[in-house]
A and B are shown apart, each in its own frame.
Chain A
Amino acid sequence: MLEKFIGKYIDFPKILISFVNGPAVGISVSTLALFDGVYASSNATFSLPFTRTAQSAEGCSSFLFPQLMGSLHAKELLLFDKKLTAQQAQQRGLVTQVIDDKQFESEKDKICQEILSLPKGSLLTSKALIQKWNKQQLHQVNLHETEVLKQRWLTEEFLQAMMDFMRNRKKK
């Protein structure tokens, strides 16, 4: 199911924009590099707790994040559970623009209107062109990432992490 879900983003032929209105975690962050635009509220944060939950990278992030922000910055997120502010995420190329939270809804409408004012055929053709050179590789990355992740789910380490998670949750 996960492979299919990510695959839909890789192939998606329309303009795909994310408006990150607040904190974002896990798959909601790892898939952002597959979007055409990411607009973040100043209240947004970005984190990928893959290793803390004894899992591994998904959403093509093992491939796209190092490309996007450089290897060491990507490893801070993918390996060491670093949480980014909206500003930091923009500096690392994961966010198009940071918008003050008070203006978020009105700016959101403006950005959508601007995109919708562009010639539709050209917009979608150009997106397809940009997608074309990476698509095959991204599907390969997706397949491998999800296979590795399925193996992780069978490990003692993962079961322990899940049991700890459930135990901590019950204490609250």
Chain B
Amino acid sequence: MNNKLEESNDDKSSSSAEHIQLLKKSPAHWEIALNRPEKYNAITQPMYEKIIEILDQAAQDKQLVLLTFTGRGKFYSAGTDLVDFAKMAVRL
């Protein structure tokens, strides 16, 4: 694997929330899709924050009934991004 390429992807991911897709399929149905297939949909800190924000909005929306979760690509989700996390942990 090319580490340099990975690092630049990591940096990009930590500053953007495009890895969480919110699809408003109808007023009653929203879908959250984890959209970081190149990293098996591993979840970074900004992605966690974005999901919290959507859950808050969804909870308060008067018309919403159903919130669905899925992953884009072949993976559902690799869980917490350990690269993101390990960098922080080693610094502790």
Binding site for B on A (CB under 8 A): 1-2, 4-5, 8-9, 11-29, 35, 43-44, 53, 108, 112, 115-116, 120, 123-124, 153-154, 158-159, 162-163, 165-166, 169-170, 172
Instruction: Give 5 A-B pairs besides A21-B75, A112-B25, A120-B65 with Cβ atoms closer than 8 angstroms.
Output: A12-B59, A17-B67, A22-B73, A27-B80, A108-B70
* Interchain nearest-CB distance for B47 vs A (Å): 10
- Taking a contact as CB atoms under 8 Å apart, the answer to whether A166 and B48 are in contact is no
Q: Which residue of A lies closest to B90 (CB)?
A: A162
Shortest beta-carbon contacts, A-B, top 5: A26-B79, A28-B77, A24-B76, A162-B86, A19-B70
- Taking a contact as CB atoms under 8 Å apart, the answer to whether A112 and B29 are in contact is yes
Interface presence of B5 (CB below 8 A) = no
- Taking a contact as CB atoms under 8 Å apart, the answer to whether B66 and A15 are in contact is yes
CA distance A12 to B59 in the complex (A): 6
| B residues less than 8 Å from A22 (CB atoms) | 71, 73-76
Q: Which residue of A lies closest to B86 (CB)?
A: A162
CA distance A20 to B69 in the complex (A): 8
Contact of A5 among B48, B77, B78 (CB under 8 A): B48
